[in-house]
Every structure is written in C-alpha cells, then in structure tokens.
C-alpha cells in the first residue's frame, strides 16, 4: 500500500482492482510509480466510481506518458477536448476478436485507458488475457522456436470487420500510415523483463520467417492458446469504471452481446 492506495489481484494471472484513489485529485510521484509497476505486473488495472470530466481524465493519463485522443490520427499536441465520447454499439463486432490495440502501426500505443460513461444494462463485458501467462505455459521447444521470429501486422482484417464503416476509416488511416508493419512475435517487457506473446488474431497475418503453411499452423495454435480461461479476466462494466491496460503484455476482447448504447471514453498512450 502507498499513500492509502490498495491494489487487489483478482485472478491468478491478470487484473487487479485499485482502491483508495480519487482520480480527480493530483497523484503524487510515488503513487504514480506504484501504479506503473502494478500495471506492468498485472496487465490491467480497474478503478471504480471515477466520475471524471475530460480534463481530469486527461490529466490522470499524463502521469504515465503522452496521451493521444486516438492512435491513428493523434499527435503529442492533442488536448482533452479532442477525446471522443462515443457509442460503441454500431462497431461492436470490430473489436470482438482478441487483440492488443492497433499493432498494425509502426508505434502502437503502449497503453489504453477506457472509461464507462453509460454501460449497457447487460452484456458488453470486456475480457483481458495475460500474454505473460500464455508465453510461460508454452513448452520449451515451442518457446525456442518462436523467440526471435517476426510477424506482419495488417490493418486490412479490421477493415473487413468494420463492414460499411470502413469506407470512412480506411482513407484517413492510409493517408497517415502503411497498411502493414512487422513486429517481434515475442516481446520482452521493458519494466518486468518478462516475455509475452505479441501476435493477435485481429492484426497478425503471417510469420515472416516461416513458409505460408507453417505460419498458418503456428498462428492458428497461438490464437487459440491465448484464449484459455486461466489466462483471462472478464469485467462487467458499471458507470464510471475505468480500465487501464498495458498493450505490451495483455490482449483484450470486447464481447458484442448487446444492442443498446454503450458509451465510452478512450485515451491511449503513445508508443
């Protein structure tokens, strides 16, 4: 515990609830360090009952890095008033696949902070899976094979899931970014030093060093492997909940089992 803050782990591998902290208030440097280390350890932190205006939300995220209103078009000059308050229902199937956020970028956001303004009365949960645990549970021969490989991450599968909304998103994306980037299959987390799987069904299309048939088989195995329930936490949103996750060591899945408004605010930290 630091400065009255408590952090309680909620599953064996991922997720913790932070209490004793009002995010409307200034946070002391020792508390920022405590939270940053907890985030790197647990992958996702949950804060309940945080009734914030956009300025307060933005100020909280600035303690941990450079906030962006959106990873595709945002810059270091973004401000709080650029943060959207959006209904996720129309595009709910776009994020109904395991992923770390927008790894099709050359510099994906290292963290994402999501706040519930108006959650659904039922459904609309979000799941997170620990890529530390997914890596650790692989056999040693598999780890030896994967470590050092690279993979292509593409925005094109996202276009397909967006359906007709892609016609609005695609031109803006391709004005600013290439459609594909290459990243390591396995990351070493810069804070913990732990290794984590860094391929996802949402963005990863092939492993560079393998033949197409080998790549398809290995990726299919990894995509199913990371879904194992023992790696996961599932969060039922309440109004003013805030989730803060590290895209370098978790993936998430937004469950699309709703059709009522699901209004959220989202900020990412520049990678």
Taking only the tens place, the pLDDT of each residue in 183-207 is 999 999 999 999 999 999 999 999 9
1 in any annotated domain: no
> Per-residue confidence at 159, pLDDT binned at 50, 70, 90?
confident
| Phi, psi for residue 258 in degrees, rounded to 5 | -160, 160
90 in any annotated domain: yes
116 in any annotated domain: yes
What would the pLDDT profile of 54-85 be if each residue is shown by its tens digit? 999 999 999 999 999 989 888 999 999 999 99
> Per-residue confidence at 171, pLDDT binned at 50, 70, 90?
confident
> Residue 265 pLDDT > 90, yes or no?
yes
In the chain, the percentage of residues whose pLDDT exceeds 90 is 85
Of 111 and 168, more confident: 111
Residue pair 258/123 in contact by the 8 Å Cβ criterion: yes
Residue pair 159/174 in contact by the 8 Å Cβ criterion: no
List the domain range (segments joined by +) for residue 12. 6-269
> Residue 91 pLDDT > 60, yes or no?
yes
What would the pLDDT profile of 116-158 be if each residue is shown by its tens digit? 999 999 999 999 999 999 999 999 999 999 999 999 999 998 8
Domain harbouring 48, CATH code: 3.60.130.10
What is the pLDDT, as a whole number, of residue 170? 83
- How many distinct structural domains can be found in the chain? 1
66 in any annotated domain: yes
What is the pLDDT, as a whole number, of residue 27? 92
**Mean pLDDT calculated for residue range 213-227:** 98
> Per-residue confidence at 161, pLDDT binned at 50, 70, 90?
confident
> Per-residue confidence at 93, pLDDT binned at 50, 70, 90?
confident
Catalytic residues: 99, 101, 252, 266
What is the pLDDT, as a whole number, of residue 131? 98
Q: Are strands 126-130 and 232-235 parallel, antiparallel or unpaired?
A: antiparallel
> Residue 2 pLDDT > 80, yes or no?
no
> Per-residue confidence at 1, pLDDT binned at 50, 70, 90?
low
**Mean pLDDT calculated for residue range 166-179:** 85
> Residue 102 pLDDT > 70, yes or no?
yes
pTM (2 d.p.) = 0.95
Write the burial class of residue 189 (CB in 10 Å: 0-12 exposed, 13-18 middle, 19+ buried).
Answer: middle
Q: Quote the CA–CA distance of 158 and 135 in Å, as a whole number.
A: 25
Note the residue count of the chain: 271
89 in any annotated domain: yes
Q: Which residues of 63-79 are buried (b: 16+ CB within 10 A; e: fewer)?
A: bbebbbbbbbebeeebe
């Amino acid at each position: 515990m630091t400065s009255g803050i408590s952090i309680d782990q909620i599953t064996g591998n991922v997720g913790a609830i932070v209490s004793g902290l009002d995010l409307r208030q200034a946070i002391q440097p020792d508390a920022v360090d405590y939270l940053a280390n907890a985030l790197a350890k647990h992958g996702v932190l949950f804060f309940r009952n945080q009734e914030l205006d956009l300025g307060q939300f933005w100020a909280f995220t600035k303690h941990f890095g450079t906030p962006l209103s959106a990873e595709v078009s945002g810059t270091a000059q973004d401000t709080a008033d650029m943060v959207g308050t959006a209904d996720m229902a129309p595009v709910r199937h776009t994020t109904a696949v395991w992923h770390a956020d927008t790894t099709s970028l050359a510099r994906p956001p290292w963290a994402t902070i999501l706040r519930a303004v108006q959650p659904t009365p039922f459904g609309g949960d979000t799941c997170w899976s620990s890529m530390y645990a997914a890596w650790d549970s692989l056999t040693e021969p598999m780890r030896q094979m994967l470590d050092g490989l690279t993979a292509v991450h593409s925005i094109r599968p996202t276009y397909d899931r967006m359906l007709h909304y892609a016609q609005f998103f695609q031109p803006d994306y391709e004005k600013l970014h290439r459609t594909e980037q290459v990243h390591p299959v396995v990351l070493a987390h810069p804070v913990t030093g732990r290794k984590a799987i860094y391929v996802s069904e949402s963005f990863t299309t092939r492993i560079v060093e393998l033949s197409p048939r080998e790549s398809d088989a290995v990726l299919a195995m990894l995509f199913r492997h990371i879904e194992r329930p023992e790696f996961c936490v599932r969060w039922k949103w309440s109004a003013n909940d805030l989730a803060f996750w590290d895209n370098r060591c978790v993936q998430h899945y937004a469950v699309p089992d709703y059709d009522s408004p699901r209004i959220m605010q989202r900020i990412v930290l520049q990678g």
